């Protein structure tokens, strides 16, 4: 796999020493100064102009965030410079990882765990000449759903471009797709066949959803007077299991409420 960056020869040695002795700012979301909650979407290596960095991409959520900003991302950067690498050690340790003997191989394993996990953190935004984001606390036990991001992160999509011929054939088998791969086909042709087959399935599901919506048009009049905020309060008060997605319209929220309960809970 590899991290895809060139790490200074003695970085981990110096990092281990710094960490033993002692118990940057890019964003695509305009936040005001304050404290926020977010879920770690990824950890990756980046070769920046000032040297290699490890970058945490954080999807921001929580009650103090505007609806339009839910799921937007910010990034927290950690340098491999000798006097700064200890900060990377600290955050990994707070996330529950063993960093006593951190190495490139160990870091690769941590990246995989973060990709599979649901790591909710509290971070601080400081606004000045530059906007800085700083890790504050790992919210152990909290889930993405609790900060309004669960459904957004439950993404079952796959990147076919990352798959070789063997992986593409395995994907066809695992998903029971009616595709017979020919020896003459290139990997590109296999990907196109898979995309076409998956697209057909999605079209069928959308048609079924449209039919259901038409059937529900005559019920749920008591919800028509509620706006998005009131609908979410209705779900919470009624202890419904509905998880509102950012992409949903108000009508889709009303439909989900009706499906969750045969009659209004209150």
- Look at residue 50 and give its three-state secondary structure: coil
Is position 193 within any domain? yes
Claim to verify: residue 25 and residue 82 sit in the same structural domain? yes
Query: How do residues 119-167 score in pLDDT, each as one tens digit?
Result: 999 999 998 888 888 999 999 989 999 998 865 444 456 778 888 888 8
Is position 169 within any domain? yes
Q: How far apart are CA 31 and CA 158, in angstroms?
A: 31
Which of 89, 120, 153 represents a domain boundary (last residue)? 153
Claim to verify: residue 205 and residue 129 sit in the same structural domain? no
Tokens 């997605």 belong to which residue? 245
Q: What is the mean pLDDT of the chain?
A: 80
Claim to verify: residue 16 and residue 143 sit in the same structural domain? yes
Claim to verify: residue 41 and residue 24 sit in the same structural domain? yes
Q: Could you give the angle at which helices 187-215 and 250-260 cross, rounded to 10 degrees? A: 70
Claim to verify: residue 126 and residue 251 sit in the same structural domain? no
Is position 1 within any domain? no
Q: How far apart are CA 196 and CA 183, in angstroms?
A: 19
Low-confidence ranges of the chain (pLDDT < 70): 1-2, 14-28, 150-157, 200-222, 261-266
The reported pLDDT for the residue numbered 31 is: 85
Is position 20 within any domain? yes
Claim to verify: residue 129 and residue 174 sit in the same structural domain? no
Which of 153, 180, 200 represents a domain boundary (last residue)? 153
User: 201-221 in b/e burial notation, b at 16+ Cβ within 10 A?
Assistant: eeeeeeeeeeeeeeeeeeeee
Is position 2 within any domain? no
The reported pLDDT for the residue numbered 266 is: 47
Name the region of 62 (left: φ>0; alpha: ψ -120 to 50; beta: rest): left
- Provide the domain limits for residue 118: 11-153
Claim to verify: residue 145 and residue 255 sit in the same structural domain? no
Is position 130 within any domain? yes
Claim to verify: residue 21 and residue 41 sit in the same structural domain? yes
Is position 227 within any domain? yes
Claim to verify: residue 182 and residue 135 sit in the same structural domain? no
Claim to verify: residue 25 and residue 138 sit in the same structural domain? yes
Q: How far apart are CA 57 and CA 75, in angstroms?
A: 5
The reported pLDDT for the residue numbered 261 is: 65
Please name the residues in contact with 134: beta carbons below 8 A apart, sequence gap of 6 or more. 76, 123, 124, 126
Beta pairing class for 51-61 and 120-127: unpaired
Number of structural domains (the chain) is 2
The reported pLDDT for the residue numbered 257 is: 84
- Look at residue 145 and give its three-state secondary structure: helix
Claim to verify: residue 82 and residue 98 sit in the same structural domain? yes
Claim to verify: residue 53 and residue 69 sit in the same structural domain? yes
Query: How do residues 233-256 score in pLDDT, each as one tens digit?
Result: 888 888 888 888 877 888 888 888
Q: How far apart are CA 120 and CA 140, in angstroms?
A: 7
Is position 139 within any domain? yes
* Burial (CB count <10 Å: 0-12, 13-18, 19+), residue 160: middle
Distances from the Cα of 31 to the Cαs of 38, 109, 219, in angstroms?
Answer: 13, 32, 40
Which of 134, 153, 172 represents a domain boundary (last residue)? 153
- Look at residue 155 and give its three-state secondary structure: coil
- Look at residue 59 and give its three-state secondary structure: strand
């Amino acid at each position: 796999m590899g991290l895809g960056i060139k790490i200074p020869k003695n970085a981990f040695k110096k990092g281990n020493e710094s960490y033993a002795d002692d118990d940057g700012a890019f964003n695509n979301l305009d936040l005001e100064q304050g404290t926020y909650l977010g879920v770690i979407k990824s950890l990756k290596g980046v070769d920046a102009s000032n040297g290699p960095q490890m970058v945490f991409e954080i999807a921001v959520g929580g009650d103090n965030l505007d609806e339009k900003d839910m799921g937007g991302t910010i990034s927290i950067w950690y340098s491999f410079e000798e006097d700064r690498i200890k900060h990377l050690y600290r955050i990994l340790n707070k996330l529950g990882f063993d960093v006593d003997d951190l190495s490139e191989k160990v870091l690769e394993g941590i990246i995989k765990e973060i990709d599979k996990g649901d790591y909710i953190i509290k971070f601080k935004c400081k606004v000045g000449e530059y906007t800085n984001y700083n890790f504050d606390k790992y919210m152990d036990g909290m889930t993405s759903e609790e900060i309004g991001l669960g459904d957004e992160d439950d993404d079952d999509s796959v990147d076919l471009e990352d798959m070789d011929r063997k992986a593409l054939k395995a994907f066809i088998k695992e998903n029971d797709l009616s595709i017979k791969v020919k020896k003459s086909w290139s990997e590109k042709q296999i990907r196109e066949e898979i995309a076409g087959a998956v697209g057909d399935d999605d079209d069928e599901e959308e048609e079924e959803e449209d039919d259901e919506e038409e059937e529900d048009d005559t019920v749920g009049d008591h919800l028509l007077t509620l706006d998005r905020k009131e609908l979410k309060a209705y779900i919470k008060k009624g202890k419904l299991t509905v998880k509102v997605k950012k992409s949903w319209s108000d009508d889709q929220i009303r439909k989900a409420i009706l499906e969750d309960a045969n009659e209004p809970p209150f």
